C-alpha cells in the first residue's frame, strides 16, 4: 500500500500548467511566426526582429504602466494625450535651449508626466470618480492642452538639437537606445510588482479591495500611486516619441491608449483587476508588433492591413481569454 502524502504539492503536471498561464499568447505568437515566416522569408531575420523591438519599445513602457493601473481594476485612457502633451512641451523647451543635457530632458519629461498622473490620481483616488470616466475626461483635457500650449504650431525635425534623436535611435550599446529603455523599465516593473510589498499590494487591491483594506493596505494611496506611475511612464514615452520621430504635432500619439490596453489584454491582464504578469504584457506587446510587421511583409494591400490587424487582435483576445479560463479552471481542480 503506497501512502501518498496528501499535503505534498502535486508536482509536475499542475506546476507546469500554472507556469503556462501565458500559454494562450505564446501559442498565438508561434503560429503567427510560422505562418508569416513561410510566406515572407524576411520575417524571421534578426534585423526584422530588431525592427519589431524598436517599434514596440515605447508601447512596452506605457503598457507596463497601464498594466499596473488595470491590476487595480482601473484604466488610464489619458496616456496618449499625456504623451502628446509632454512631447510638445519637451520639444518646445529643447528648441529654445538646445544645450540642455539629455538626462535633464528625460527627467523633465518624467516630471511633467508625473504631474499629469497626479491629477488623474487625485480625481480617481480622492475624488472617487470611476477611472474610465476620469481618464476619458483627462484624455480630452490633456489633448486640448496640447493645442493651448502650441497654438497649433508643429515642431519639425530641423528645429530640434542634433543630439536629441540619438536619445531613442542612437546605438551606443549596439542596439537602439529605445529598446534599452524598454528593457530597463520592464526589469524595474517586474521587480516592483513581484518583490516589493507595494507591488504585491497592487495585486491585492485589484483582487479584493475590501479584503485589502481590512488587512491594512492603504487602498487610496496605492490607487493614487499607480496613476502617478502611469503618468511618469507616459512622460518618458513622450520624450522618447519626440526623439524617435523627431517631431511633435498636436495629434501626436492620438489613440495610442487603446493600443496599450490591447497589449495588456492580449498579454493576459484581466480587465477586472488582480491578474496579470509582466512577461505576459511583454508577449502581448510583441504580438501586436508582430501583427503590424507581418501585415506589412505579407504585402497585403494597405486596406486589408487594418482588417487583418483587427481580426488578429480579436482572435488573440478571444483565444487568450478562453485558454486562460481553461487553465484557471484546471488550477482549481
Partner 1 sequence: MKESISPSTAVPQPANLISERPPRRSFLGRFQHWEWMLVALVLLAVVVNTRLTPYFLNGQNLSRTSVDFMEMGLMMLPMVFIIITGNIDLSVASNLGMCASLMAVLWNLHINIWVAAGAGLVAGTLGGALNGFLIARVKLPALVATLGTYAFFRGIAYVLLGDQAGRGYPPAFTYLGQGMLPHTLIPFSVFLFAVLAVVFGLVLHRTTFGRYLFAIGNNENACIYAGIPVARIKMTLYVVSGFMSALAGLVLAARFGSTRPDIGTGLELSVITAAVLGGVDILGGTGTMIGAVLSLVLIGLITFGMGLKNIQDQVQTIAIGGLLILSILLASIARTISAGGVRINWRTVGLAAVLILIFAVFFFFFYWSRAPVLKAVFG
Partner 2 sequence: MKRNTFYFVMAAIAVLGMFLSACGAAATATQAPAPTSMPATMAPTSMPATMAPTSMPATMAATQPPTAIPTAATMTGRTYVLVPKNLGNPYFDAANSGAQLAAAELGVKVLYQGPTTADATAQITLLDSLIAQKVNGLAISADDADALVPTGKAAIAAGIPVVTWDSNIATGGTQLFVNQADTQGIGDSQVQMALDITGPSGGEIAILSATAQAPNQNAWIAVMKTDLAMSQYSALKLDGIVYGNDDDTTSYNQALSLFKTYPNLKVIVAPTSVGIAAAARAVKDQNLSGKVFVTGLGTPNALRDYVKSGIIPEFALWNVPNLGYLTVYALDAIATGKIKGNPGDTFVAGKLGSYTIASDGTILLGKPFVFNKGNIDTLNF
Residue 222 CB, shortest distance to partner 1, in Å, is 16
Q: 67 to 106, contacts with partner 1 by CB under 8 A?
A: 75, 89, 92-93, 95-96
Residue 136 CB, shortest distance to partner 2, in Å, is 17
Q: For residue 10, how many other CB atoms are within 10 A of its CB?
A: 9
Q: Residues 293, 299: contact at Cβ < 8 Å?
A: no
- Residue 206, Cβ density class (10 Å: 0-12 exposed, 13-18 middle, ≥19 buried): buried
Partner touching 247 among partner 2, partner 1, none, CB below 5 to 8 Å by kind: partner 2
The answer to the question of residue 21 lying near partner 1 (CB under 8 A) is no
Q: How many residues bind partner 1 (CB under 8 A)?
A: 59
DSSP state at residue 123: I
212 Cβ partners below 8 Å, 6+ apart? 201, 204, 205, 219
The site string for partner 1 over 106-135 (x = CB under 8 A, - otherwise) reads ------x--x--xx--xx---xxxx-xxx-
Contact pick of 57, 66, 67, 150 for partner 1 (by CB under 8 A): 150
Partner touching 183 among partner 1, partner 2, none, CB below 5 to 8 Å by kind: none
Identity of the residue, 44 or 255, whose beta carbon is nearer to partner 1 in the bound complex: 255
Q: How far apart are CA 236 and CA 230, in angstroms?
A: 10
Contact pick of 34, 35, 104, 148 for partner 1 (by CB under 8 A): 148
Contact pick of 137, 161, 165, 170 for partner 1 (by CB under 8 A): 137
C-alpha cell at 193: 510588482
Gyration radius (Cα) of the chain, Å: 21
Q: Residues 25, 239: contact at Cβ < 8 Å?
A: no
Q: Residues 233, 62: contact at Cβ < 8 Å?
A: yes
Provide the β-strand partners of residue 155.
Answer: 248
Identity of the residue, 134 or 186, whose beta carbon is nearer to partner 1 in the bound complex: 134
Q: How far apart are CA 177 and CA 54, in angstroms?
A: 9
Identity of the residue, 136 or 297, whose beta carbon is nearer to partner 2 in the bound complex: 297
C-alpha cell at 156: 519639425
Site residues for partner 2 per CB under 8 A: 42, 48, 51, 147-148, 150-154, 156-158, 169, 241, 245-247, 249-254, 293, 296-297, 299, 301-302
Q: How far apart are CA 280 and CA 247, in angstroms?
A: 32
> Which residues of this protein are in contact with partner 1, per CB under 8 A?
75, 89, 92-93, 95-96, 112, 115, 118-119, 122-123, 127-130, 132-134, 136-141, 143-153, 250, 258, 261-262, 265, 271-272, 301, 303-311, 313-314, 317-318, 321-322
Amino acid at each position: 500500500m503506497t501512502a501518498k502524502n496528501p499535503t505534498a504539492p502535486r508536482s509536475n503536471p499542475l506546476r507546469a500548467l500554472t507556469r503556462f498561464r501565458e500559454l494562450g499568447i505564446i501559442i498565438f505568437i508561434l503560429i503567427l511566426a510560422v505562418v508569416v515566416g513561410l510566406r515572407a522569408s524576411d520575417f524571421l531575420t534578426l534585423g526584422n526582429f530588431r525592427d519589431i523591438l524598436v517599434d514596440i519599445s515605447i508601447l512596452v513602457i506605457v503598457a507596463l504602466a497601464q498594466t499596473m493601473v488595470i491590476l487595480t481594476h482601473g484604466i488610464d485612457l489619458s496616456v496618449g494625450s499625456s504623451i502628446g502633451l509632454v512631447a510638445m512641451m519637451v520639444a518646445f523647451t529643447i528648441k529654445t535651449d538646445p544645450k540642455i543635457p539629455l538626462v535633464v530632458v528625460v527627467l523633465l519629461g518624467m516630471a511633467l508626466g508625473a504631474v499629469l498622473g497626479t491629477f488623474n490620481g487625485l480625481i480617481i483616488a480622492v475624488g472617487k470618480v470611476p477611472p474610465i470616466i476620469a481618464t476619458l475626461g483627462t484624455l480630452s483635457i490633456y489633448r486640448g492642452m496640447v493645442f493651448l500650449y502650441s497654438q497649433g504650431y508643429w515642431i519639425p525635425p530641423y528645429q530640434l538639437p542634433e543630439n536629441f534623436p540619438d536619445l531613442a535611435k542612437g546605438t551606443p550599446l549596439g542596439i537602439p537606445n529605445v529598446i534599452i529603455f524598454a528593457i530597463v523599465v520592464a526589469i524595474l516593473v517586474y521587480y516592483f510588482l513581484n518583490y516589493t510589498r507595494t507591488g504585491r499590494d497592487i495585486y491585492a487591491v485589484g483582487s479584493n479591495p475590501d479584503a485589502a483594506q481590512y488587512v491594512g493596505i492603504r487602498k487610496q494611496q496605492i490607487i493614487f500611486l499607480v496613476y502617478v506611475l502611469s503618468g511618469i511612464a507616459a512622460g518618458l514615452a513622450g520624450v522618447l516619441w519626440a526623439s524617435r520621430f523627431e517631431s511633435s504635432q498636436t495629434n501626436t500619439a492620438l489613440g495610442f491608449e487603446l493600443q496599450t490596453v490591447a497589449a495588456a489584454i492580449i498579454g493576459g491582464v484581466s480587465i477586472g483587476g488582480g491578474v496579470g504578469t509582466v512577461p505576459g504584457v511583454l508577449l502581448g506587446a510583441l504580438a501586436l508588433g508582430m501583427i503590424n510587421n507581418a501585415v506589412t511583409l505579407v504585402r497585403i494591400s494597405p486596406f486589408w492591413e487594418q482588417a487583418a490587424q483587427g481580426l488578429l487582435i480579436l482572435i488573440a483576445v478571444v483565444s487568450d481569454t478562453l485558454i486562460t479560463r481553461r487553465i484557471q479552471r484546471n488550477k482549481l481542480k
